Amino acid sequence: MQKEVDEHISQLKEGYFPPMSLIVRLTEELGELAREVNHRFGEKKKKASEEESSIAEEIGDVLYCLTCLANSLQIDMEAAHRSVMHKFKTRDANRWTKKEE
């Protein structure tokens, strides 16, 4: 995923936006995701004039922005994922109630 995003961005003259701009864009996309979740599952329903949007599409936008941020900072997202999963499996191993088998 990171390679595909990098190949796309590398063909653009502007390249990656600075980290602060990427954080702002990520926040904007997260807000759009939150709005869709609120419309679907919350009490605030869409107005008849509002277009339908997909939660999956909004998650994709968040993921794209996050990938751009990671790439611009040379962060390997797979390594970051492994690290956080290790933390959840060790430090937080007994924090939550496990399902009965």
pTM: 0.86
**pLDDT tens digits, 76-90:** 999 999 999 999 888
| Percentage of the residues of the chain whose pLDDT score is greater than 70 | 100
Q: What is the pLDDT of residue 18?
A: 97
Q: Which long-range contacts (CB under 8 A, 24 or more apart) does 5-14 make?
A: 5/64, 5/67, 5/68, 5/71, 6/71, 9/68, 9/71
Q: What is the pLDDT of residue 97?
A: 86
**pLDDT tens digits, 3-29:** 999 999 999 999 999 999 999 999 999
